[in-house]
Amino acid sequence: MLDGILTGLSTAFSVTNILMVIGGCLIGTFIGMLPGLGPMSIIAIMIPVAISIGDPSTALILLAGVYYGAVFGGSTSSILINAPGVASTVATSFDGYPMTRAGKAGKALTVAAIASFCGGTIGAILLMIFAPALASVALLFHSAEYFALMVVGLSAIAAFAGSGQVGKALLMTLLGLIMATVGEGALFNAPRFTMGISDLQSGFGFITLAMAMFALPEALYLILDPNRSKTEGASGEIKDLRITKNEAKRIAPVIGRQSIQGFLIGVLPGAGATIASFLGYAVERNIASKEEQAEFGKGSVKGLAAPEAANNAACTGSFVPLLTLGIPGSGTTAILLGALIALNVSPGPRLMVDQPEIFWAVIISMYLGNVILLILNLPLIPYIAKILTVPRTFLIPFILFFTLMGAYIGQNNSTELLILVGFGICATILRFADYPLAPLLIGFILGSMLEDNFTRSMDLYGGLDFILQRPMTMGLLVIAASLVVLPSYRARRARLRQQGVADGD
């Protein structure tokens, strides 16, 4: 472990990688402040840039910096104008915006910056401690266990769905699995479902699909829904960034609790920073005293610190299943997983052994990134906030240009542009119909890995006997079945209980 940390230090603190951390944090902070443009969209746009770098360590450091930079910066628009730039900062606006209206915008931004810094730093420490342990356990895994892990990841897809949208999330996951079958399969080296199009022989391009699912619909959304981008500017000068000792004492235990809870939620496949932020806010409100509970929603420093610490720690925690097991812990890490595959890096238990410079450099860069983000956000927030006044006439062409160029550079053929536009229009329609798009992308990414490991297991054991012969595989499949059945069972019990109360009345 010590050798790995030293290797990571030497890699992360090279001049090139330090510049990449700074660049990634800057890009992520700016994009995160734009309402509607989250880390998934900007990472999808940045993937061609990262691939062109060549060095996997440098590329992943850049993308990771963009990721937590976007979550870090997303709190700014939530606090100043009540327009969350990232889904995971929606809970930040519950108390951040009331503080702004009360003339405490500077104090709110300071609390958010400190909570984000502490959450990200504690998450990085926990990642350094627990990731090697998870990786050593994962060395016991074979293709059968990896197949079962993919099933577990797919069964937790309901976490990406809103209330009453589990059916839609499952439908989108199945669509992603179907799209993953296009092209040559693992069992037979023959094209499948290509409709005679030679460019589809290798399947749909991940970059094209990611652009079509997230980046292109954002531009179309801005065109079709003009009111979406009309926001009020922050009035007055942002000053008084200091917090009192009493406020520091009040938020310190909140930050500690939610950093740990957020990290653990981020580790779960299918969970993410959005879920962590809402749970963090709910937990702190429930355990607060009655007097403090009355402040929540009206400008509570605890209500602001909790989601900010939780979502940044969850961003770091999501790298545990990504790097050690090859399973995305959130929609954004699903895109990062695709970027790793495009860079010919195989995330999993062997990553620490075969390519320690990648594994440890990413973790070490998170420490550096959090320091850079704190330095950027505290003194520069009054100036950075002005980016929110960028007119749509400049924003839309910018998004469209990088989307089209990214898809073309990724596969280097014009067919990808047609596929991009077609999928982008379909994705926009699905968004208007309130269908979540993250499950589709995760189903697409996990689909090929699920098929590959299932095929190897079938070849090795001559059939489905591998499920019975390997207890760990059976256990993981039971967990997957529980994740599917238990939510439905609880919902049914709740409905029956409500009917019983109504009949009693």
Q: How many domains would you assign to the chain?
A: 1
Compute the half-sphere exposure of residue 391: CA atoms within 13 Å on the CB side of its CA: 2
pLDDT at 417: 84
pLDDT at 68: 79
- Mention every residue, 6+ apart, whose C-beta is less than 8 A from residue 289: none
Distance, in Å, from the CA atom of 87 to the CA atom of 39, rounded to the nearest integer, reads: 10
DSSP output for 110-146 = HHHHHHHHHHHHHHHHHHHHHHHHHHHHHTT--HHHH
Helix (H, G, I), strand (E, B) or coil at 407: helix
Q: Is the dihedral of CA 103, 388, 278, 490 positive or negative?
A: positive
8 Å CB contact between 271 and 329: yes
Distance, in Å, from the CA atom of 379 to the CA atom of 370, rounded to the nearest integer, reads: 15
**Does the model's pTM come out above 0.85?**
no
Distance, in Å, from the CA atom of 157 to the CA atom of 286, rounded to the nearest integer, reads: 27
Structural domain of residue 459, as residue ranges?
A: 2-503
Distance, in Å, from the CA atom of 213 to the CA atom of 64, rounded to the nearest integer, reads: 20
- Tell me the mean pLDDT per 10 residues along the chain, length 505: 72 84 86 65 80 82 84 76 65 82 79 88 83 61 76 65 67 88 72 76 75 75 61 47 80 90 75 72 80 80 89 83 72 78 76 76 83 79 56 70 69 77 88 80 78 82 79 84 72 74 61
pLDDT at 242: 74
| Beta strand spans in 340-403 (E) | none
Number of residues that make up the chain: 505
